[in-house]
């Protein structure tokens, strides 16, 4: 296309992309660059560190990264998150899949109500959900323990060092099943119905239809929900932060993101917090990339 005089036509496309580019640069590229910049510095204190001008910003290269990578607490936090994810992701997606398949059955009743009932916890803010569950977990206020007590059975303490993984994962399962169910259910509804009919004519039981037809066709949606769930797992922050004051079993640096928060706002060291943030972002990016690579050929079949 050639401009018919004047500069206006040449400028138009730039004008159209300008808002997006400006926003991208302002709220995305610039802050990331600033975070990376900050991660290369630290403060240096002179003497007692009291009085004017006793702190200065000094360039330290990759020191903050080296410190973060060799930090035992950060590594321990990463291990804890993996253990937490090992409980959370299979449980949450398993339940979501079961519910989606059940709701997709023709014989099911009260479908609309069930769908909303399962989805509703997703609409509850995580902080409030964590507080609610915290009340339910505390041995002294737990209705479960009151029930066990009435039956003369020993009480349980989900806030014990071993129980805490389940306690935290349970909140995420409770909140996340509904969301994932809706994604899977929507994908199920888009599968052509005549496939089922053909299967039935060939003598498939509903169980076989589910396992042999529905689940394989759901693979792309399952990959997507897995990816989202794994990323959400790595970002776990609100649940353990809200529960931490209630128990001896949760440290303030229980997950890597909690460590970042503590570094930035507890210790006032935004430099190492920036370095750790960059590392976490890089790890997530790498993980997502590998996961998509590995699953793409299987899940998306012919798509390229």
User: For the CA atoms of the chain, what is the radius of gyration?
Assistant: 26
Which token pair is 141?
Answer: 């206020």
- Which ranges constitute the DSSP H helices of 70-158? 72-104, 111-119, 126-137, 143-150
**Which one among 12, 18, 27, 110 touches another protein, defined by CB under 8 A?**
27
Residue 247's contacts (CB-CB under 8 Å, 6 or more residues apart) are: 159, 164
The reply on whether position 75 binds another protein by CB under 8 A is no
Q: How many chain residues interact with another protein (CB under 8 A)? A: 65
Between 267 and 298, whose beta carbon lies closer to another protein? 267
H or E element, residue 55: strand 55-59
- 61 makes contact with another protein (CB under 8 A): no
Among 44, 105, 149, 197, binds another protein (CB under 8 A): 44
Restricting to residues 176-215, name those near another protein by CB under 8 A: none
Residues 130-169 that bind another protein (CB under 8 A): 134-135, 138-141, 160-161
**Which of 53, 154, 203, 302: binder of another protein (CB under 8 A)?**
53
One of 281, 286, 290, 294 touching another protein (CB under 8 A):
281
DSSP label at 145?
A: H
Can you tell me whether residue 235 is helix, strand or coil? Answer: coil
- What are all long-range contacts of 220-224, with beta carbons under 8 Å and residues at least 24 apart? 220/187, 220/299, 220/300, 221/183, 221/184, 221/186, 221/187, 222/93, 222/97, 222/184, 222/299, 223/291, 223/292, 223/295, 223/299, 223/300, 224/183
Q: How many CB atoms lie within 10 A of CB 18?
A: 11
**CB of residue 103 to another protein, shortest distance in Å:** 24
Residue of the chain from 28, 69, 147, 297 that contacts another protein (CB under 8 A): 28
Strand 41-45 versus strand 55-59 pairing type: antiparallel
Q: How many CA atoms lie within 13 A of 68 on its CB side?
A: 24
For residue 274, state whether it binds another protein (rule: CB under 8 A). Answer: yes
Q: Which helix (H) or strand (E) holds 206?
A: helix 206-208
Minimum distance between the CB of residue 145 and another protein, rounded to whole angstroms? Answer: 11
User: Based on CB atoms, which residue is closest to another protein, 215 or 269?
Assistant: 269
Number of C-beta neighbours around residue 296 at 10 A: 14
Residue among 52, 107, 193, 293 that touches another protein (CB under 8 A): 52
284 binds another protein (CB under 8 A): yes
- Provide the minimum distance between the beta carbon of 116 and another protein in the complex, in angstroms, as a whole number: 24
Contacting range for another protein; rule: CB under 8 A; set: 28-36, 94-102, 182-190, 215-223: 28-36
In angstroms, the Cα distances linking 244 to 59, 166, 263 are 35, 14, 17
Here's the x/- map for another protein, 224-243, by CB under 8 A: it reads as ---xx--xx-xx--------
**293 scored as a contact of another protein (CB under 8 A):** no
Q: Which is nearer to another protein, 104 or 239 (CB)?
A: 239
What SS3 class is residue 105?
Answer: coil
Q: Which residue's CB is nearer to another protein, number 170 or number 272?
A: 272
Structure tokens at 88: 């959370």
* Binding-site ranges for another protein (CB under 8 A): 26-28, 30-32, 34-35, 38, 42-55, 67, 134-135, 138-141, 160-161, 227-228, 231-232, 234-235, 244-253, 257, 262, 264-270, 274, 277-278, 280-281, 284-285, 288
């Amino acid at each position: 296309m050639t401009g018919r005089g004047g500069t206006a036509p040449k400028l138009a496309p730039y004008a159209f992309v300008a808002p997006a580019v400006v926003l991208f640069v302002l709220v995305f590229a610039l802050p990331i660059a600033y975070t990376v910049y900050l991660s290369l510095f630290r403060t240096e204190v002179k003497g007692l560190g009291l009085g004017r001008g006793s702190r200065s910003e000094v360039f330290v290269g990759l020191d903050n990264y080296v410190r973060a990578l060799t930090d035992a607490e950060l590594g321990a936090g990463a291990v804890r998150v993996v253990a937490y994810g090992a409980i959370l992701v299979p449980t949450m997606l398993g339940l979501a899949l079961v519910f989606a398949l059940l709701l997709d059955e023709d014989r099911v009743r009260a479908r609309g109500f069930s769908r909303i009932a399962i989805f509703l916890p997703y609409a509850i803010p995580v902080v409030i959900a964590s507080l609610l569950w915290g009340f339910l977990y505390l041995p002294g206020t737990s209705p479960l323990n009151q029930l066990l007590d009435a039956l003369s059975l020993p009480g349980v303490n989900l806030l014990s060092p071993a129980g805490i993984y389940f306690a935290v994962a349970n909140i995420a399962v409770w909140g996340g099943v509904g969301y994932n169910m809706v994604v899977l259910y929507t994908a199920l509804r888009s599968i052509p119905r005549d496939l089922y009919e053909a299967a039935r004519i060939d003598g498939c039981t509903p169980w076989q239809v589910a396992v042999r037809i529905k689940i394989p066709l759901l693979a792309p949606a399952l990959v997507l929900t897995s990816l989202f769930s794994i990323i959400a797992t790595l970002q776990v922050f609100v649940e353990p932060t809200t529960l931490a004051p209630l128990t001896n079993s949760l440290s303030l640096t229980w997950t890597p993101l909690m460590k970042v928060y503590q570094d930035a706002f507890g210790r006032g060291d935004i430099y190492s917090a920036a370095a750790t943030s960059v590392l976490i972002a890089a790890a997530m990016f790498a993980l997502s990339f590998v996961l998509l690579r590995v699953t793409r050929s299987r899940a998306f079949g012919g798509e390229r």
